[in-house]
């Protein structure tokens, strides 16, 4: 529907930004933090990025929160590091880890900023991995102990919790995110791992409702809205297949507490046993989520891929030179294709604000649950200009157009209570270190040179601040 007025955001809408512990904190060897698998995994990527420094938020958190307050934030979405809180296999709580997050949360609350806290954002402690990691059902108990520790320590001030960041992407991109390490038959093993993750998620939901008074919790799917390439009927089925295999299977289980007929048929056809044991489905069904955290950066296109098509493996653009992405072909399921109607970033990510409106309406129509945007943003090559500043007009354009579409989705009836783009400060990209920056605040550091880690507000910081002050009415 077209409206004859700009969209309006509800009073009390949460405006903030987002981060994850291993990408922003640094201090990986300080105050008892253990090593995580993502520390090791990211060191295999190029350019090499040293997680031990990252944005050094661990030592700059007060300055960072002061900047958030200056920008006008009313929320901040960040993650807790499991290896900082439970660094050893004996399950002993690291009080210095608790103290750091207590200080951060207190600082946020003192500035009127609502914390939105992710329990797990890829940083599996190496000690858990050595005991079998996501392949081992004991991990469910380790994870529950970690979650209960967090709820008990921070639940008096943190009321919005997020369970697992992008479980779907961890399964879809198992190799890229290091989850498939050690699996002999990833094609089948991933469904066992996924089931264990679903049980971990369920334990977190139940423990949150038990331990946190007034606590709300939801998952964080990584969402990429999918269009059929044409109105050819087979393209529509291909788009539905892609939607199932990249996101819908996960969301349906979170909300309906079952595995859909679609995925059960797929498992049967492909001789896949996800190792569902007695009591598992009852546990999953009991864990009712309160809302969805939604990560969305781009959109995709799918087209028909008949069974006699050759298999082509997906290749991510890993260096930020346009054209590096290889569209995959999955015979009998779907093929991915380029979208001639949208522009792309240097990493070939589609710049598609309308996808945001489509996604929020799609999620609302399917699940009727409130949503908070936990990630959305523009990754770019950036460094200080001759004037010592960052003029990131492209990011301002990106955010403005995306936020406008969030507003339209709200006008359309979707319940959305906050917007937290990725990211507040520059931080390590999952695969590209500091070479791919997302922040509203520049961090003066690079992959090769730690520099002085100075915080420098980009043009987008001032623009976003004005937008927040107007509750989303300046364009």
Q: Which is nearer to ligand BGP, 94 or 194 (CB)?
A: 194
**Cα separation, 29 vs 51, whole angstroms:** 10
**Which residue among 128, 169, 224, 289 contacts ligand BGP (CB under 6 A)?**
169
Task: Establish if 241 lies at the interface with ligand BGP (CB under 6 A).
Answer: no
Q: Which CB sits closer to ligand BGP, 4 or 44?
A: 44
Question: Which pairing describes strands 292-296 and 114-120: parallel, antiparallel, or unpaired?
Answer: unpaired
CA 19, 468, 395, 324 torsion-angle sign: positive
Cα 336 to Cα 34, 164, 171, 184: the distances in Å are 39, 27, 18, 27
Q: What phi, psi does 294 have (nearest 5°)? A: -125, 120
DSSP string, 226-256: EEESSS-HHHHHHHHHHHIIIIIHHHHHHHH
Q: Is 336 in the site for ligand BGP (CB under 6 A)?
A: no
Considering the complex, state which of residue 85 and residue 220 has its C-beta at the smaller distance from ligand BGP.
220
Query: Does 330 sit near ligand BGP (CB under 6 A)?
Result: no
Note whether 20 binds ligand BGP by CB under 6 A: yes
Nearest residue by C-beta to ligand BGP?
A: 429
Distance CA(377)–CA(405), nearest Å, equals 14
Span of 68-76, 164-172, 268-276, 387-395 interacting with ligand BGP by CB under 6 A: 164-172
With binding defined as CB under 6 A, does residue 51 bind ligand BGP? no
CA distances from 58 to 34, 74, 97, 373, 384 (A): 15, 21, 11, 24, 23
Residue 269 CB neighbours (<10 A) = 9
Sheet holding 160-165, edge to edge: 216-220, 160-165, 114-120, 75-79, 14-18, 416-419, 371-375, 292-296, 222-223
Strand ranges for 347-458 from DSSP E: 350-351, 371-375, 416-419, 441-443, 455-457
178, 225, 431, 439: which one binds ligand BGP (CB under 6 A) = 431
Q: Judged by CB under 6 A, how many residues of this single chain contact ligand BGP?
A: 14
Residue 146 CB, shortest distance to ligand BGP, in Å, is 19
Which span sits near ligand BGP by CB under 6 A: 185-193, 235-243, 409-417, 429-437?
429-437
Q: Is 222 in the site for ligand BGP (CB under 6 A)?
A: yes
Segment 398-427, which members bind ligand BGP (CB under 6 A)? 422
* Beta-bridge mates of residue 301: 227, 337
H or E, element range at 153 = helix 138-154
| Cβ distance to ligand BGP smaller for residue 335 or 348 | 348
Residues 339-378 binding ligand BGP (CB under 6 A) are 375
Nearer to ligand BGP, 166 or 350 (CB): 166
Q: Determine which one of 107, 243, 335, 375 is catalytic.
A: 375
| Cα–Cα distance list, 364 to 98, 298, 322, 371 (Å) | 36, 18, 34, 8
Cβ-proximal residues to 102 (8 Å cutoff; 6+ apart), any chain = 153, 154
- Measured from the CB atom, the residue of 98 and 373 that comes closer to ligand BGP is 373
Answer yes or no whether residue 238 interacts with ligand BGP by CB under 6 A: no
Residue in 25, 166, 244, 382 annotated catalytic: 166
Q: Give the number of other CB atoms < 10 A from CB of residue 180.
A: 18
Q: Is 375 a catalytic residue?
A: yes
| Min dist. Cβ of residue 173 to ligand BGP (A) | 9
Q: Identify the DSSP state of 312.
A: B
- Whichever of 165 and 299 has its CB closer to ligand BGP, that residue is 165
CA angle 263/266/270 to nearest 5° reads: 145
> Should residue 429 be labelled a site residue for ligand BGP when binding is judged by CB under 6 A?
yes
Minimum distance, C-beta of residue 210 to ligand BGP, in the bound complex (Å): 27
* Least distance CB 37 / ligand BGP (angstroms): 14
Active-site annotation holds for 107: no
Work out which of 60, 84, 159, 436 binds ligand BGP, going by CB under 6 A. Answer: 436
For the annotated catalytic residues, the residue numbers are 166, 375
Give residues in contact with ligand BGP (CB under 6 A). 20, 23, 165-166, 169, 222, 295, 375, 379, 422, 429-431, 436
């Amino acid at each position: 529907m077209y409206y004859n007025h700009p969209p309006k955001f509800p009073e009390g809408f949460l405006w903030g930004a987002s981060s994850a512990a291993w990408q922003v904190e640094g201090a990986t060897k300080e105050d008892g933090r253990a090593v995580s698998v993502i520390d090791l995994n990211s060191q295999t990527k190029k350019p090499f990025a040293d997680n031990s420094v990252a944005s050094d938020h661990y030592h700059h958190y007060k300055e960072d929160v002061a900047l958030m307050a200056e920008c006008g934030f009313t929320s901040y979405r960040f993650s807790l590091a499991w290896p900082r809180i439970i660094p050893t296999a004996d399950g002993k709580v690291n009080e210095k880890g608790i103290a750091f997050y207590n200080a951060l949360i207190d600082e946020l609350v003192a500035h009127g900023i609502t914390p939105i806290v992710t329990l797990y954002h890829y940083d599996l402690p190496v000690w858990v991995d050595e005991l079998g990691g996501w392949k081992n059902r004991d991990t469910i108990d380790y994870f529950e102990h970690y979650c209960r520790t967090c709820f008990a320590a921070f639940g008096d001030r943190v009321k919005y919790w997020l369970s697992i960041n992008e479980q779907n992407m961890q399964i879809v991109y198992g190799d890229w995110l290091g989850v498939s390490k050690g699996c002999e038959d990833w094609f089948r093993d991933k469904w066992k791992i996924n089931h264990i993750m679903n049980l971990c998620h369920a334990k977190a939901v139940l423990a949150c409702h038990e331990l946190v008074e007034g606590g709300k919790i939801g998952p964080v799917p990584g969402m990429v809205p999918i269009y059929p390439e044409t109105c050819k009927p087979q393209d529509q089925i291909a788009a539905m297949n892609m939607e199932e295999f990249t996101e819908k299977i996960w969301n349906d289980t979170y909300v309906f507490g079952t595995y859909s007929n679609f995925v059960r048929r797929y498992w049967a056809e492909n001789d896949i046993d996800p190792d569902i044991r007695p009591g598992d489905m009852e546990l999953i069904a009991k864990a009712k989520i309160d809302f969805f955290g939604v990560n969305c950066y781009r959109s995709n296109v799918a087209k028909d891929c008949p069974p006699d098509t050759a298999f082509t493996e997906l290749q991510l653009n890993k260096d930020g030179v346009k054209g590096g992405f290889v569209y995959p072909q999955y015979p009998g399921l779907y093929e991915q294709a380029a979208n001639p109607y949208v522009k792309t970033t240097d990493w070939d990510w589609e710049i598609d604000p309308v996808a945001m409106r489509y996604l929020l309406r799609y999620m609302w129509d399917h699940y009727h649950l409130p949503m908070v945007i936990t990630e959305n943003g523009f990754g770019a090559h950036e460094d200080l200009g001759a004037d010592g500043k960052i003029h990131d007009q492209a990011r301002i354009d990106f955010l403005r157009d995306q936020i406008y579409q969030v507003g339209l989705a709200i006008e359309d009836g979707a319940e959305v209570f906050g917007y937290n783009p990725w990211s507040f400060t520059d931080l390590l990209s999952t695969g590209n270190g500091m070479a791919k920056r997302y922040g509203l605040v520049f961090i003066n550091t690079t992959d090769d040179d730690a520099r002085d880690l100075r915080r420098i507000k980009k043009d987008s910081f001032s623009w976003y601040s004005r937008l927040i002050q107007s509750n989303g009415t300046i364009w």
